[in-house]
Amino acid sequence: MLTGRTGSITFRRCRSYTTKHGLRPVPILSDAGLETFRKDAFVPATPALLPRQTFSQLPAVQRWFLTASDGRLTLNRSYLARFGSTIVPLEISNNDRFTRIEQSLSFFLECVHASSSTYRVQPSRYFSAYVPGARAIRRTTQSNDFFSATAISPPTARVYLAQAPINDLPRALRDDLPVPDLVLKAGKGDVYDSSIWIGQAPTYTPLHRDPNPNLFVQLAGTKIVRLFPPDNGKAIFAKVQETIEGSASATMRGEEMMQGAEKKALEFEVWSDDVRSGRTGWEAELRSGDGLFIPKGWWHSVKGTGDGITGSVNWWFR
């Protein structure tokens, strides 16, 4: 693969997927060494991809996912079911409706299995009127008909295991996701937080920013990440708020960005193919084993693409 120089920073030329949206491809570091990562990404606070498949040997990549007979990626249910009683956070969307709950990992595995089956299942098996055992993240006085059999059924309902803290997982699953040396040694060695994200593609995380640098690693499937420098991302957010006549805070993000007018406006501004939008940002495509460094304060939005399961892990550190 050819190499090129940008100032004093050495990168590999990116994979030749196109960015016809007026966005630059995120450069790939020349190697995965600590000094290269620190000098060319962490210290200058610039987005960078690690060399392709740098993280392909993570145990979770090998143990959590399987390739089905039809070629689609699936979850290794026989392995993960051993930890079925583990409570995990889930984001559930049904058309333009959205909610967060906490449920068992076994519940999530059954939902994914139902949504990927070729035969039609009875929705009441997975979603009763009130989802027995589910614990709502946020109480509401509204009628709880979100999960009723008439309101939700595969495949219109999408279940996403999102922002599940690694430290809340059983020891065996934590051991499948050892903290990379880059996270432990590039800065002060402080790991602020870490999470896993698993769902049936397509998945979507709206535009937001994080208070700490972020190493984002794709475990399975494909995701596209669009990134914007702090000032540009803030301008996009402000434009969306003006468009919808909203007053949401850029630092305190809630469910409003996952549904309704704000979700639609954010998705349009970030993911529209209209190059006249004037966006200034970068784009990266990640496949299994790929890793992306996202600097502190950089706005980003993520889409899981293709068929089958997509899975990711990220570490916030400093």
Residues in the chain: 318
pLDDT per residue as tens digits for the range 28-63: 999 999 999 999 999 999 999 999 999 999 999 999
Distance CA(277)–CA(148), nearest Å, equals 40
Find the farthest-apart pair of alpha carbons in the chain and give their distance in angstroms, rounded. Answer: 60
Give me the sign of the Cα torsion angle 71, 74, 79, 81: negative
What is the CATH code for 23-117+151-317?
2.60.120.650
| pLDDT < 70: residue spans in the chain | 1-21, 116-156, 251-254, 274-279
Phi (first) and psi of residue 195, to 5 degrees: -145, 160
Task: Please report the pLDDT score of residue 155 as a whole number.
Answer: 52
Q: What is the pLDDT of residue 15?
A: 43
Cα separation, 144 vs 139, in Å, equals 10
Dist. CA 198–CA 177, nearest whole Å: 14
Task: Please report the DSSP string for 186-209 in residue order.
Answer: SSS--EEEEEEEEEESSEEEEEE-
Domain boundaries, the chain: 23-117+151-317
E-state strands within 132-201: 135-136, 157-165, 191-200
Supply 254's token pair: 């809630």
- Determine if the peptide bond prior to 155 is cis (ω within 30°): yes
- pTM (two decimals): 0.83
Q: Give the pLDDT of residue 101.
A: 95
